[in-house]
Amino acid sequence: MSRKLIAEFLGTFWLVFGGCGSAVLAAAFPQLGIGFAGVSLAFGLTVLTGAYAFGPVSGGHFNPAVSAGLAVAGRFSWSEFVPYVVAQVIGAVAAAAVLFVVASGKADFSLAGGFASNGYGEHSPGGYGLVSALVIEVVLTAIFLLIILGSTEARVPAGFAPIAIGLALTLIHLISVPVTNTSVNPARSTGQALFVGGWALQQLWLFWLAPIVGGLLGGVIHKSLLAEKA
């Protein structure tokens, strides 16, 4: 179990540092910023590379919503759920801390820019309200779980799942960055919100509730309708 938790810590650290780091440090870099598309690709690449590096040890969840969805689908033990979530949240917070140290080295750095936190209403990049944020986070997390569960079934050629999962997360971000800055991962949301405080912590509940509900929904749909029967 200790090896699994270390792998989950490292994988979540990489996801948050790579994804949120690209948003904070590179998205709007003068003249050569990578923009929404670049940030979306960065998140996908972190999951793809992390899944290959740490997946063989822990299964490569890096996300409480993924752990919940896998558990309800019968692919993961509920007895390991809480330790996994704790490791994931600690990894996300550690990544946010390192990112803060790096970003604050710039003279005009300010947390007022959001520090890649997730939000709705006036804190949504596109000004989308609570209902829009709730719906898109539930739907996209559910689809994410369906892709994870489908691509990791025994009948699928081994070794290709991280590619499908990474590309799926890229597409998810391309769709929803303007709406919520894209969570689909409560750990990722928590790390950034702890540093921003205020509004980010006040809205954090949605970025736990919606992804967890979406993860459970995806797990139930796959187990009930799509899983290969024994």
pLDDT digits (tens, 9 = 90+) for 30-67: 777 999 999 999 999 999 999 999 999 999 999 999 99
| Residues of the chain scoring pLDDT < 70 | 230
Residue 7 amino acid letter? A
Q: How far, in Å, CA of 57 to CA of 142, rounded?
A: 24
What pLDDT does 230 receive? 65
What pLDDT does 30 receive? 77
- Helix (H) / strand (E) element for 202: namely helix 199-202
What pLDDT does 228 receive? 81
What pLDDT does 229 receive? 77
What pLDDT does 181 receive? 98
Cβ atoms of 66 and 12 within 8 Å: the answer is no
Nearest by Cα to 206 from 145, 100, 129, 143: 129
- Indicate yes or no: pTM above 0.75: yes
Q: How far, in Å, CA of 190 to CA of 184, rounded?
A: 12
